């Protein structure tokens, strides 16, 4: 399974932008970069995904390095509700059956 490296924890103040980094130096050409997050006492939920170009949706933005060996999830204005564990996952669409490999993720703390 393809590996990602994320910081164990990060902190932010409410209404400030948050940049969550992810390193994936062994990414292959067919790997998509997916982000999920897990709020307290809930199952993980999809946040965003991308292949080469930067992506935006209502939840976040994903910035992908030109060499694709790293990416950054951007929360433009953190809220208390964004406090969660964020997982960066490489997903090979050529692999069977949509398996996702979850690492330990980054625990984001948001201070009021």
Partner 1 sequence: DVKVTQSSRYLVKRTGEKVFLECVQDMDHENMFWYRQDPGLGLRLIYFSYDVKMKEKGDIPEGYSVSREKKERFSLILESASTNQTSMYLCASSAAGTERYEQYFGPGTRLTVT
Which residues of the chain form contacts with partner 1 (CB under 8 A)? 32, 34, 36, 41-46, 49, 87, 91, 93, 96-105
Nearer to partner 1, 7 or 32 (CB): 32
Q: Round to whole Å and give the CA distance between 4 and 28.
A: 12
- Per the listing, tokens 């897990």 go with 38
Measured from the CB of residue 76, what is the shortest distance to partner 1 in angstroms? 21
SS3 state of residue 80: helix
Measured from the CB of residue 100, what is the shortest distance to partner 1 in angstroms? 6
Nearer to partner 1, 63 or 100 (CB): 100
Q: Round to whole Å and give the CA distance between 84 and 32.
A: 22
For CA atoms 63, 48, 77, 108, the dihedral sign is negative
Nearer to partner 1, 77 or 104 (CB): 104
Measured from the CB of residue 77, what is the shortest distance to partner 1 in angstroms? 24
Measured from the CB of residue 107, what is the shortest distance to partner 1 in angstroms? 12
Nearer to partner 1, 43 or 112 (CB): 43
Q: Round to whole Å and give the CA distance between 1 and 99.
A: 10
Q: Round to whole Å and give the CA distance between 12 and 99.
A: 31
């Amino acid at each position: 399974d393809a590996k990602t490296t994320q910081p164990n924890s990060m902190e932010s103040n409410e209404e400030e932008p948050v940049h969550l980094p992810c390193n994936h130096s062994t990414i292959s050409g067919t790997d998509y970069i997916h982000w999920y997050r897990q709020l307290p006492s809930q199952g993980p939920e999809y946040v965003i995904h991308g292949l080469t170009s930067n992506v935006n949706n209502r939840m976040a933005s994903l910035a992908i390095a030109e060499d694709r060996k790293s990416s950054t999830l951007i929360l433009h204005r953190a809220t208390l509700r964004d406090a969660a564990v964020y997982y960066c996952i490489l997903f090979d669409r050529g692999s069977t059956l949509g398996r996702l490999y979850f690492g330990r993720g980054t625990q984001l703390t948001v201070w009021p």
